Chains A and B, each alone.
Chain A
Amino acid sequence: MDIAVIANEIKRGDLLEMYYYLRLTRSLEDRISALYRQGRIVGGVYTSHGMEAIAVGYASALMPDDVIAPFHRDMGAFLIRGFSPGEIIAQYLGKQGGPTKGKDGNVHMGDLKRGMIGFVSHLADNMPVAAGAALAFKIRGESRIAVAGTGDGGTSRGDFHEAMNFAAVRKLPVVFFCTNNQYAYSTPVRYQMAITDVVERAKAYGMPGEIVDGNDVAAVYLASKRAVAKARAGEGPTFLEFKTMRMHGHSEHDGAKYVPRELLEEWKTKDPILRAERLVTQLGYGDESYFHEVGERAKKEVDAGTEFAEQSPLPEGRETLVGVFATEDEVYP
């Protein structure tokens, strides 16, 4: 991206805050991966390693009362919405201190008070749900918007298409995105669809779409800002295709032998944190010592979070029975 455009359109404080969230996401997920390798996490672990710029970029482009239905590699969005590293690690460890109190694991957490819709493993299920949240905003005449995303594989599901169609027909204030990280588990995009760019799918719904460099946090942020502004102005939904590369396996148990090593080597040089550091340096907003300082701060927060999560008790077995049905006082808002 043109450095002058970035200097002009992104405030220094906003860019530096995004850099901090990139580092916090990386530190947190590295810790979670380590805990997994130590056998401390019993379930699946899906990270955003090498893709952190997407969630950090789009979540930074929103207002606090907008709603996010994240993809399962959007840890940065949770952090930006105020989920602490402690809560998140507790969630992975199945502890009481996690947002679901052990009812669900890993990134399957949500909290409507913080505008986060809980992820559903059935990819793209939350895209119609986000369209419905946007419908509620439109019916009530609010200026809020919803954002929802899935992966390249998720765009093959019917719910993706039904959501895109419904949102376009009703011009709903929603932004849809696809994290195109080139693999759905082991299946490459070429076996997922007969098109090269996922963004082609938007055309069928009369929806504007844009391809965005998903490893450039500034590009993600600015493209999201544009789409969000359109949605908020009543001009309907936009589809953003964030091009990136999944640098780990589907889950941490998966060595991803099916991915050519040279592809990973190529994308290593496009790492979103390195890219952001280059940008911050070019703009004169920070240098190596600043990056080190931010890294230390992130690590400290993750250390404190790990401590909190370890202290947090496991739920009692009988808590299984709690919460199947809601009571009236739990209805939003």
Chain B
Amino acid sequence: MTTATLTQEVSYVDAISQALDEEMNRDERVFLMGEDIGAYGGAFQVTEGFLKKYGEWRVLDTPLSESGFVGAAIGAAMMGLRPVVEMQFADFISCAFDQIVEVAAKNHYRWGAAVPLVIRAPFGGGVHGGPFHSECPEGWFFHSPGLKIVAPSTPYDAKGLLKAAIRDPNPVLYFEHKFLYRRIKAALPQEEYIIPLGKAEVKRAGRDVSVITYGAMVHLALEAADLLNKEGIDLEVVDLRTLIPLDKDTIYESVRKTSKVILLHEDNKTGGIGAEISALLAEDCFDSLDGPILRIAPPDTPVPFSTPLEEFFLPKVSDIVAGAKKLASY
């Protein structure tokens, strides 16, 4: 990124729009489906202006019918198009669960039909959305073979990973964090770039404790790292970026270096991605560990609405600081 010509700073949400626009320009097979994405431009304005530019057969407003339009996107993908479906909120993806895990995920394995489909799903809390507009449903799909799962944390990654997702020949769930939409900005290269799926990135190199995380939690970890630095604890922050395929090499390399690990995510704790990585580390990196594997994740409750409740629910910088100090003492 250092050698590229940089544009003016763009927000995370604008980076997503740019990726869609560039891919639709590049490849006429790419088209969009979702609720209110046409004239209205989408609940988060990701596709504002797209209807005018690409017309109603490449920017399809759908009935309120997640299973129906995900199914239709699967059919169109099997016939050679490249649909990108927008879930208005990731929470509503539960209505399309069957189509995603039974049809999209299994078609290639069962009878050889590729399903090059992207489902964009705005997820996560911190926006006072309550139990139906704040969920992190990635764990459900993490357990379903045949899907790829992406969850970017920066505008740069959001753009590069969405372009890779659209070009992938498989169903890809792209979880975009709506707390980050307009809160973070970055200058992006003017030149086209792609970030391959399945590659984690060390967002901050450190010696003492590894934090393995993704999505909005990456920023919490980086904040915690700054605070801990003043106390002489050097945090390494690994941003998974892609949950499936999981970049075990980068995770293991980090943990073998620091010997101490915190698994941090916004999805609730039980049976989450942290639990799986914990098991992998126990199986493959046991000899490198110098302390217990810590998970920092919300309790096993729905995401509550009221401010003090949601604040209690979500992981905090102070949780990471406390966890890192505990581990550093081993």
A residues whose Cβ falls under 8 Å from a Cβ of B: 67, 99-100, 103-104, 108-112, 117-118, 120, 122, 125-140, 146, 158-159, 162-163, 165-166, 169-170, 323-328, 330-333
Q: Is there a chain A Cβ closer than 8 Å to B318's Cβ?
A: no
A and B contact pairs by CB, cutoff 8 A, 6 listed: A100-B111, A111-B112, A129-B78, A166-B65, A325-B169, A332-B114
Question: A103 vs B78: C-alpha distance in the bound complex, in angstroms?
Answer: 19
Q: Tell me whether A128 and B67 are in contact in the complex, defined as CB-CB below 8 angstroms, given that A109-B111, A118-B111, A330-B169 are known contacts.
A: yes
Smallest Cβ-Cβ distance to A332: which chain B residue: B80
> In the complex, what residues of B have CB within 8 A of residue A132's CB?
71-79, 83
Chain B, range 81-116, C-beta contacts under 8 Å to A: 81, 83, 98-99, 102-103, 106-116
Question: B108 is contacted by which of A126, A129, A325 (Cβ under 8 Å)?
Answer: A325
Question: A137 is contacted by which of B31, B65, B70, B79 (Cβ under 8 Å)?
Answer: B79
Q: Count chain A CB atoms within 10 A of each CB in B74, B76, B108 and give the residue with the most.
A: B76
Question: A105 vs B31: C-alpha distance in the bound complex, in angstroms?
Answer: 34
> In the complex, what residues of A have CB within 8 A of residue B73's CB?
132
Contacts between chains A and B (CB distance < 8 A), count = 157
Distance between B80 CB and nearest chain A CB, rounded to angstroms: 5
Question: A109 vs B75: C-alpha distance in the bound complex, in angstroms?
Answer: 16
Question: A90 vs B170: C-alpha distance in the bound complex, in angstroms?
Answer: 28
Smallest Cβ-Cβ distance to B107: which chain A residue: A118
Number of interface residues of B (CB under 8 A): 43
- Inter-subunit contact A162/B67 (CB<8 Å): yes
- Inter-subunit contact B78/A112 (CB<8 Å): yes
Question: A126 vs B67: C-alpha distance in the bound complex, in angstroms?
Answer: 11
- Inter-subunit contact A112/B110 (CB<8 Å): no
> In the complex, what residues of A have CB within 8 A of residue B292's CB?
none
- Inter-subunit contact B71/A162 (CB<8 Å): yes
Q: Is there a chain A Cβ closer than 8 Å to B69's Cβ?
A: yes
| Complex interface: stretch among B55-63, B232-240, B253-261 | B55-63
Distance between A142 CB and nearest chain B CB, rounded to angstroms: 9
- Inter-subunit contact A333/B108 (CB<8 Å): no
Distance between A151 CB and nearest chain B CB, rounded to angstroms: 17
Question: A118 vs B76: C-alpha distance in the bound complex, in angstroms?
Answer: 15
- Inter-subunit contact A120/B102 (CB<8 Å): yes
Question: A108 vs B60: C-alpha distance in the bound complex, in angstroms?
Answer: 31
Q: Is there a chain A Cβ closer than 8 Å to B145's Cβ?
A: yes
Q: Tell me whether A326 and B115 are in contact in the complex, defined as CB-CB below 8 angstroms, given that A122-B102, A158-B67 are known contacts.
A: yes
- Inter-subunit contact B110/A133 (CB<8 Å): no
- Inter-subunit contact B109/A103 (CB<8 Å): yes
Question: A332 vs B115: C-alpha distance in the bound complex, in angstroms?
Answer: 9
> In the complex, what residues of B have CB within 8 A of residue A110's CB?
107, 110-113
Chain B, range 224-265, C-beta contacts under 8 Å to A: none
Q: Tell me whether A136 and B108 are in contact in the complex, defined as CB-CB below 8 angstroms, given that A128-B99, A159-B68 are known contacts.
A: no
- Inter-subunit contact A327/B169 (CB<8 Å): yes
- Inter-subunit contact B72/A117 (CB<8 Å): no
- Inter-subunit contact A324/B98 (CB<8 Å): no
Distance between A126 CB and nearest chain B CB, rounded to angstroms: 7
> In the complex, what residues of B have CB within 8 A of residue A131's CB?
68, 71-72, 75
- Inter-subunit contact B81/A163 (CB<8 Å): no
Q: Is there a chain A Cβ closer than 8 Å to B146's Cβ?
A: yes
Question: A111 vs B114: C-alpha distance in the bound complex, in angstroms?
Answer: 11
- Inter-subunit contact A325/B170 (CB<8 Å): yes
- Inter-subunit contact B71/A333 (CB<8 Å): no
Smallest Cβ-Cβ distance to B71: which chain A residue: A128
- Inter-subunit contact A125/B169 (CB<8 Å): no
Question: A140 vs B81: C-alpha distance in the bound complex, in angstroms?
Answer: 9
> In the complex, what residues of A have CB within 8 A of residue B145's CB?
324
- Inter-subunit contact A139/B68 (CB<8 Å): no
- Inter-subunit contact B108/A323 (CB<8 Å): yes
- Inter-subunit contact B114/A130 (CB<8 Å): no
Chain B, range 101-143, C-beta contacts under 8 Å to A: 102-103, 106-116
- Inter-subunit contact B76/A108 (CB<8 Å): no
